[in-house]
Amino acid sequence: MAVAALIDYDVKDDHIAVLTLNRPGAMNAMSKGLLDELNAHIEKINASNTIRCTIITGTNEKAFCAGADLKERKGMTEEQVIEAVTYIGSTVTAIENMKMPVIAAINGAAFGGGLELALACDIRITADHAKLGLTETSLAIIPGAGGTQRMTRLIGAGQTKRLIFTAKRVTAEEAWRLGLVEQVTPSENLLPEAIEFARAIMQNGPVALRQAKTAINQGAQTDIMTGLSIEHLCYKETLATDDRLEGLQAFKEKRKPVYQGK
């Protein structure tokens, strides 16, 4: 009997990759097997010349991702635990570094490493019933896959400390008010709205999207003058592209541009 995939992969409109975490019985927790499959898909998508946006979501409405697989971790030595946490962290960073925009469609609970995964995405859309939190201190540990850093950069140190110190689980509405997510939607509309968002993105120049993501992500880690220099370098990367010429020609001819990503 074939083993069910832990990550479902689909492509919409030729240019949108949809990755669905598929361990519903374990609240889509990040086992080694799931992480192996996720990394394989990330590598495949990054190598593609046609995928212009990626959506990451989870199976059913119960959980986006509950974080690390604690049952799998139960019999591990301290060294093995560190190795497992490092693997989650490197996978989350690989998502952050994907060359195209990545949307987290948060279909249910996103706790611990599950929220850290969402924080590494460029845009977060959440179902209105979902709850989110970096709850690690309730287990006498701390977020170890980038949560302390990415959340701080997103919503500030004070709110991050409040959420992590209390292990608080926030509602979708509070997450939106904090700036933790960019959009809240009824559960049944989640994936359709994420796909519509991706369609709006993919109409634009692929090289420009890649360079804009680089400028924003790298510039955010520096002072303003260094950030402006990064922006300038990224802008220059768009100048010699066929897409830029196509954009100008389409504007002149009052039609939609057809971008090729080169």
Q: Are 123 and 103 in contact (CB under 8 A)?
A: yes
Of the listed 68, 84, 104, 212, which one is catalytic? 68
Rounded Cα–Cα distance for residues 182 and 168 (Å): 19
Backbone angles phi, psi at 97, to 5 degrees: -90, 5
pLDDT tens across 28-40, in order? Answer: 999 999 999 999 9
Rg (CA), the chain: 19
Of 133, 136, 144, 194, which is the active-site residue? 136
Helix (H) or strand (E) holding 36: helix 32-47
pLDDT tens by residue, the chain, 262 residues: 445 789 999 999 999 999 999 999 999 999 999 999 999 999 999 999 999 999 999 998 999 999 988 888 888 888 899 999 999 999 999 999 999 999 999 999 999 999 999 999 999 999 999 999 999 999 999 999 999 999 999 999 999 999 999 999 999 999 999 999 999 999 999 999 999 999 999 999 999 999 999 999 999 999 999 999 999 999 999 999 999 988 888 888 888 888 888 8
For tokens 């109409």, the residue is: 203
- Against a cut of 0.85, is the pTM above it? yes
Active site residue 37: no
68 noted as active-site residue: yes
Q: What are phi and psi of 59, to 5 degrees?
A: -75, 140
Catalytic member of 116, 130, 198, 208: 116
**Nearest CA-CA partner of 56 in 108, 115, 102, 113:** 102
Q: Which of 113, 114, 133, 146 is catalytic?
A: 113
